[in-house]
Structure 1
């Protein structure tokens, strides 16, 4: 379709209806409950979809996840697909030096023959680590893979039997296991805690000159590029160039060149024109480097979004840069390094509703040029589609002609030599029961083996979609399918508008509580109503009486899903309704222990970028190095942009502040690195009432939240009970009760349901059950406090959510989780089985406060109106401590028995010493800085004994016959 031919939303709807909602059969659609999306990769005519099975001899059913990059050989007969993600192959019989996984726990390159169009898998090779980078040698006789945290480049060549093999040692990059961040690590507790604050290197994108004589590697965590010269079988390190202005001849303390991700090379050193273009994700620029002689930065091309992958046209006169956040492709003329065009890539302009104007969130992450150079193919990760961009005659402008549906989160697209076939790789798959939709799964897993783990990064599997390039007429139908899959035509119904109108008029305050890492069945599986499996209730009512009471008193949400996979993307999704592509790219790698840091709460590589100067950073954290060029400025690489491309302003509190509302922050986005280090090294003591001694314990890691933050509210710290967090919140709430100035939006972090730090936890709150009960009691106390407030109980709503659900089994879906809503306008005693997720949750808060949408996701989400009534009702709440808390020395329970003088507090299944030993070496200093799949197993065994670990979700509806089901459960527990 040429740019002049336009689609309309109404026409698209007709096409979708006539096509049965897909181009290849209605049975190909699969719902993603945590995303409110459908995926239909089999919709294009002639499409195929296959999982990535590396054919492991000992685990033949195991499938790889997180496919990130695809490339074709110079003769276009071979397709390579690279994974960079979790990909740990677990075993129930661990052997040294692999304590919980097998030697096959590597990343993979899948090698396909595409000479006849349809891909035929020929071979799979392995590398220990990788991070997106893969490129063919121009000769076709070799390909190169960046080694990620291994800090090297692997060289694969044809060997005697015609297969590909690694016959020479990888090219070492020589960064001595160190990246640019806080350079600090230590062991505490006689080695029981290994705290790693500093970061390691990470080799990312790489490119090779057209003559095969110059190879350039982006050092993602060293803010540099490495250059090799010589060519195939003769590579030698030539130079490394730091891309930061202060390290490359410019002014110190000026942002530039950080987080270099992708590389394109123009020209050759032989003709004196060799030039590298490097995408700097954090600083939103393309760094231009002269490669001849001594490498030097010659230009910095500023772009609006976060530059991702790039592609040069054949004569190398134009560079196409795909950019997340701005949802666009910039066209750079390499003759003068000018941006000569910007192409939006969300969808054809004619099918975007006016309500979505200016909103972003498509997560475009790769761009490929068709062989005839008349179109671009762009993967929109968050919209599960490929945007087909028809270019103008000058090739410097264009528009989206149509969209092709893909699997979940496409990361790369390749094209056959004649442009007739497309090959799209995606990173994720659904994690619920899958009886009728096999393409995103492999064979059923063996019962009770590690293959049945409920850990999201393990469950999300990659895929390869191959399809003939759709003709113009089919592209129109497929565009309609993508629009339908992503609910672009969504509008609130009349009742939704009525309910939200009443709430806006009467509710003046929202208290937003975020907790950590629990599934529905783990907590509410034993509830008397709802679709819970009591057999999976690790932390049932005996430990969480207040959450059970909240569900019974107000609404039981038994069909609620956390959008995120883990805490790293969970905090992004839960506070902003999206995770930028840089987060989607990093989290699975980080959680597999393959390097990279957890950047989504305001610290980048453990550096607190909320502070703009080195002096401010050192005052907040004495571990900060004396280096003006260490991530200067206040740009947060992982933060979402706000509407209109407002950099880093895409969070809920930004929306509230734009609206002119007041915000108060208790524990969100704090620098917690000092909580787990000795006092002599700058640690912060475990003060139970820091306000009483005027000691700051909270250092904001968000510039926007800094003025709103309670500096006496301790952030994420498993050694510190949530009870004291509640008491600090209560201290301020009492002042608001007196002054009548409760903020419109209160952000409250109650995190102890994460559990951990068993050797250092205070007041006897030192086992998983006790920490869970502590968290539950804090939630109950907050609800009780509000219920007794004459000023605020009737004009305040409390929203409680988990940031993710990665830490346990669930019989419906690994993303299903708990959520609670409380207040005068909430229904009472109701079971609400409406399908909701994190984004619906955020949309509801926005609607209550009268905020505008932050991005595409929340703009298209239905508010949770089934939870509310338009007439306020009296309500009360009395916090009830779990009996196990009476064995602690927390102030309410010290020296008391739960049921009378002779009664004894229940004993935990194991003491703190057991748990400290079982988790020896795990870093609990922040969410999930260790192997959480292993931790899941440790928790289950310690709490549930020899009971078999949960099998894969079965999807059964357990809402009926609850009394009988619970009776069997209680009998089994006695």
Structure 2
């Protein structure tokens, strides 16, 4: 723990908080004194603040200014302090939003592609802030493949865009941070995708030079004829290093977790045009801030800030910024500024707070003073000297509270209108720096908002003689549950599936995949407990799977929402997407627990010319189930799942197919059953089993794949069969199954877009209960850790409350018998050789449109794995599903008429995620 001294900046209240921090909780002594009760995530501002789906509240200090929708990725303050230019991401479109710094009013949007507003260049937002020229007459705006130069008029508005094209070795150059030369003739750009420092001639608006630096450069600062570049991916690898890839670049990586294990700052001699030194700093250095001759570096993946002495060209000190005693991972520092003399502010993205320190210069240790609460996930902190106010840009703002969304998932489903995960409402918060007494009160507020207070007392140690219960009071005590299954499905909201269940906070009008389509999941909820106040933290699969496997999505993932061009890490394959403490399977193995993985967070290697047909998959499933004889048309193990993470490879079952919508879940569950039957013979079932059953993702209505109702029914039957097999086995008396979605992006919910279904099956589950306690994916991870004696991975799962009220100490061992599907699993699948059809029920006058869409749909990669699905344009895909399901009688919400494929707004925008 950092040393705390009585010095200027400390108040009585702050000192009281500091004293409390010295009594650090043991990580395993959770107790059951925290949590958020039965409060709901509904965007309501109460005296407690706004409850988020991330086990946190927000109650920011100062004024709050909302957007009308969209995630704010970063921002820049104009030189006169009058305007704030922010990079904005909304529904896969990137654009510029300009705010009035004094009032917070949006004064301009540019590049949305809506109405008369044309896109800027490629239309994909970058991840880092725009840059104003010192005179305020120019603004440079980074995008995925280019930089746009804008002229700023007397009214402060941007106009006359000039697109400066860039290239990259692996695709997009991904321009990041920028800096101008003192004379303004050169614009220096960290080209994150090219591993170079780009030099742009501002007179010609041309890229004239690229200087090799470290891997994944992120920010650049100019001082004394040198450029300092933070390299998120660290130093270039040598032949002796173990490496893992990120965007095609081999990064020096950890031999167990596969995570990038170095971080550097490149020193570039601008006159010579080359790197002269590489300074070792913390992991994933991002934000840079120059204070005199000191360069402060935010190390986002290890919760520290390094101070570089630019005169001596060395790191003079590094200090930890995680404010929770006993935790070293999970705060995500990502922004730095000085707010007046001696007041150093560091934005802590995951803590929804700024940490304030006293700065006495480069030779003196910095001293922690307290915390200031912000909105959800601050990404930029700046000081407006004109207004003498601190300005914070909050990426996720007040949560998914944007305009309600209407979606549809195909024939035999119902249209739904409500809240969706993409309804991000980013915010700016602004305040005068707090006084001494106020800072102590604000620090306490941050601890309450993050539910950290319960961790401040020492608590009681684990009792090795305590009677086993399902969820032990203290980590390390025995549980009556020995085998845990974590089953991860895809993308549904609570109301989509459970809206018609007839109890709890359920809206039957939003039940798109109700009882007829999901009889097993309804039966599980009715028997083992209904959870109507449960939430997924993630927005989509790229962060959703990371929340479940790492109890977090690190700053790199949060910032990638501008483009996801480096990677889409829903299944790994990116060394920068991994936290330094590893994954749930790593933590389990450190605790001495056995683990097996079936398809989660791995990739599928499908031979491109040898993909089986649906009939082959179905036949293979019937043979494996014993319903048919003959040779397997799809032999098990032919399509192996692989991982770039060594520790996951060690526990993965490669014959189990991972995410691919061309493979039915019946085949997956049959492969698992082969392993399970062997475990029944040996009596050895792993303590932790991870499994993906992804078919409720669905794959459109082209006829190349079954319709959504059939794919969801396939998924439901697989879940039922898993619980059926386990509950009829010798292991049932000591087992628990957690079934949940990776995210809830593909639907809407009347409470919140992040509300999602959860099923728990166990003899110890509370039969017939409606559990309305606030819980999230983090609570599921924490409960698994508590049951199996696994130490938390970071401060988030450490603070999460175990789900004790979901269980009872009086077991009911009656088995569960799977219910047959009421929907043919090949419903909507066209027979081989069948001629294209416009479909039944197409009204007169719409036949040609229906045929155009059928032909368009037939050309799309609507099935398969994530990379294939990413080729499909979401604006077009959503419309064909809507037209088919509404009988071609109503235009898509927001359109004035039914459109042909080439008339759809945003049709030239590539998809970032359909998984």
Normalised by the length of structure 1, the TM-score is 0.73
Counterpart of 1:81 in structure 2 is: 85
Contact 1:33 1:837 in 2 (8 A): no
| Larger CA deviation: 201-210 vs 413-422 | 413-422
Supply the distance in 2 between the matched residues of 1:36 and 1:7 (Cα, whole angstroms).
27
Match of 2:602 in 1: 670
Deviation at 1:730, TM superposition (A): 0.3
The residue aligned with 2:40 is none
1:718 is matched with which residue? Answer: 661
Q: Distance in 1 between matches of 2:165 and 2:335?
A: 27
Q: Out of 181, 184, 209, which is 1:239 matched to?
A: 209
Task: Determine helix, strand or coil for the equivalent of 2:714.
Answer: helix
Q: 1:476 to 1:388 in 2, by over 3 A?
A: same
Separation (CA, whole Å) in 1 of partners of 2:534 and 2:858? 30
Question: Match for 1:220 among 162, 169, 192?
Answer: 192
Q: Distance in 2 between matches of 1:459 and 1:925?
A: 27
1:674-753 matched pairs, under 5 angstroms: 674-675=605-606, 677-679=608-610, 692=635, 695-753=638-696
Provide the secondary structure at the position in 1 that maps to 2:331.
coil
Q: Secondary structure at the match of 1:704?
A: helix
> Who is 2:310 aligned against?
334
**SS, match of residue 708 in structure 1:** coil
Deviation at 1:322, TM superposition (A): 0.8
1:556 aligns with 2:512: no
Assess if the C-alpha contact under 8 Å between 2:88 and 2:94 holds in 1.
no
> 1:156, 1:164 within 8 Å by CA — same for their partners in 2?
no
1:428: which partner in 2?
396
> Is contact 1:84–1:129 with CA below 8 Å preserved after alignment?
no
Looking at structure 1, the residues matched to 59 and 100 of structure 2 have their Cα atoms a distance apart, in angstroms, of 23
Q: Is the 8 A contact 2:218 2:229 kept in 1?
A: no
Alignment pair present for 1:783 and 2:723: yes
Among residues 70, 73, 84, which one is paired with 2:75 in the alignment? 70
| Aligned partner (choices 12, 15, 24) of residue 7 of structure 1 | 15
How far residue 852 of structure 1 moved from its aligned partner, in angstroms, is: 0.9
Give the Cα–Cα distance (whole angstroms) in 2 for the partners of residues 413 and 585 of structure 1.
Answer: 15
Q: Is the 8 A contact 2:71 2:426 kept in 1?
A: yes
Question: In 2 relative to 1, CA 212–812 (structure 1 residues): closer, same or farther, beyond 3 Å?
Answer: same
1:848 Cα deviation after fit: 0.8
Alignment correspondent of 1:48: 63
* Residues in 1 aligned to 2:874 and 2:751: alpha-carbon distance in whole angstroms: 20
- Give the secondary-structure state (helix, strand or coil) at the position aligned to 2:558: helix
Does residue 143 of the first structure (1) align with residue 74 of the second (2)? Answer: no
Distance 1:330 1:919, change over 3 A: farther
State whether residues 264 and 312 of structure 1, in contact with CA within 8 Å, keep that contact through their aligned partners in structure 2. yes
Cα distance in 1 for residues equivalent to 2:453 and 2:467: 16
Query: Which of 543, 554, 560 is residue 580 of structure 1 equivalent to?
Result: 554
Whether the 8 Å contact between 1:71 and 1:80 is mirrored in structure 2 is: yes
C-alpha distance in structure 1 between counterparts of 2:231 and 2:91, whole Å = 27
Q: After the TM superposition, which residues 166-565 of structure 1 pair with which residues of structure 2 at under 5 Å, given as runs?
A: 166-167=159-160, 169-173=162-166, 175=167, 179-180=169-170, 199-229=171-201, 231=202, 233-243=203-213, 257-267=214-224, 273-281=225-233, 284-314=262-292, 317-347=293-323, 352=324, 356-372=325-341, 374-394=342-362, 397-417=365-385, 420-430=388-398, 456=420, 458-490=422-454, 500-501=471-472, 504-565=478-539
Displacement of 1:840: 0.6
Shift of 1:370: 3.1
The whole-number CA distance in structure 1 between the counterparts of 2:797 and 2:159 is 47
Q: Is the 8 A contact 1:134 1:143 kept in 2?
A: yes
Native 8 Å contact 1:371 1:418 kept in 2: no
**Cα deviations across residues 596-647 of structure 1 (Å, max 9, x unaligned)?**
430242213xxxxxxxxxxxxxxxxxxxxxxxxxxxxxxx1101221xxxxx
Contact map agreement 1:371 1:419 (CA 8 A) in 2: no
Shift of 1:297: 2.2
The answer for the alignment partner of 2:807 in structure 1 is 868
- Cα pair distance change 1:384/1:431, threshold 3 Å: closer
* Change in CA separation of 1:518 and 1:919 when aligned onto 2, cut-off 3 Å: farther
Moved more, 723-732 or 162-171: 162-171
C-alpha displacement of 1:845: 0.6
Residue deviations 1:333-386, cap 9 Å, x none? 122332211222233xxxx4xxx51342112211112343x1221111111111
Matches within 5 A, 1:791-806: 792-806=731-745
Deviation at 1:679, TM superposition (A): 4.1
Deviation at residue 808 of structure 1 after TM alignment: 0.8
SS at match of 2:603: coil
Cα deviation, residue 82, structure 1: 1.3
Structure 1 residue aligned with 2:256: none
* Equivalent position of 1:38 in the other structure: 57
For the 8 Å contact 1:453–1:951, the answer to whether it is kept is no
Distance 1:448 1:781, change over 3 A: closer
Contact 1:65–1:86 (CA under 8 A) maintained in structure 2: yes
Deviation at 1:456, TM superposition (A): 4.2
1:310-331 CA distance string (max 9 Å, x none) = 11113xx211011212112111
What SS is found at the alignment partner of 1:506? coil
Q: CA deviation at 1:884?
A: 1.6
CA distance in 1, matches of 2:434, 2:210: 44
Match of 1:883 among 822, 825, 838: 822
Alignment of 1:59-138 (within 5 A): 63-74=68-79, 76-86=80-90, 106-112=94-100, 123-126=108-111, 127=120, 128-131=123-126, 132-138=128-134
Distance 1:333 1:908 in 2: 73
Contact (CA 8 Å) 2:717, 2:819: kept in 1 or not? yes
Q: C-alpha separation between the residues in 2 aligned to 1:33 and 1:82?
A: 23
- Pairwise CA distance, 1:834: 1.4
Q: 1:310 to 1:362 in 2, by over 3 A?
A: same
Gapped runs of 5+ residues in structure 1? Answer: 14-24, 53-62, 89-104, 181-198, 244-256, 268-272, 433-439, 605-635, 643-648, 895-906, 953-974
1:562-711 maps to which residues of 2 (within 5 A)? 562-587=536-561, 589-590=563-564, 595-604=565-574, 636-642=575-581, 649=582, 651-672=583-604, 674-675=605-606, 677-679=608-610, 692=635, 695-711=638-654
Q: CA deviation at 1:142?
A: 2.0
Distance 1:554 1:931, change over 3 A: farther
The structure-2 alpha-carbon separation of the partners of 1:552 and 1:167, relative to structure 1 and needing over 3 Å to count, comes to closer
| Alpha-carbon offset, residue 275 of structure 1 | 2.7
Secondary structure in structure 2 of the residue aligned to 1:875: coil
* 1:187-226 alpha-carbon deviations (Å, 9 max, x no partner): xxxxxxxxxxxx5332221112333233211222222221
Q: Is the 8 A contact 1:721 1:752 kept in 2?
A: yes
Q: Distance in 1 between matches of 2:708 and 2:611?
A: 29
Q: Deviations over 1:696-753 (max 9, x none)?
A: 5222232211011111111111011000100010000111111111111111111100
Q: Deviations over 1:464-485 (max 9, x none)?
A: 1111111111111111111111
**Equivalents in 2 of 1:738, 1:912: separation in Å?**
55
Give me the whole-angstrom Cα distance separating, in 1, the residues matched to 2:841 and 2:485.
34
Give the drift of 1:125.
4.1
CA distance in 2, matches of 1:515, 1:601: 13
Say if 1:781 and 1:879, in contact at 8 Å, map to a contact too. yes
Whole-angstrom distance in 1 between the partners of 2:563 and 2:489: 24
1:259 aligned counterpart, secondary structure: strand
* Inter-partner Cα distance in structure 2 for 1:914 and 1:144: 39
Cα distance in structure 2, aligned partners of 1:82 and 1:914 = 37
CA contact (8 A) 1:390 1:398 kept: yes
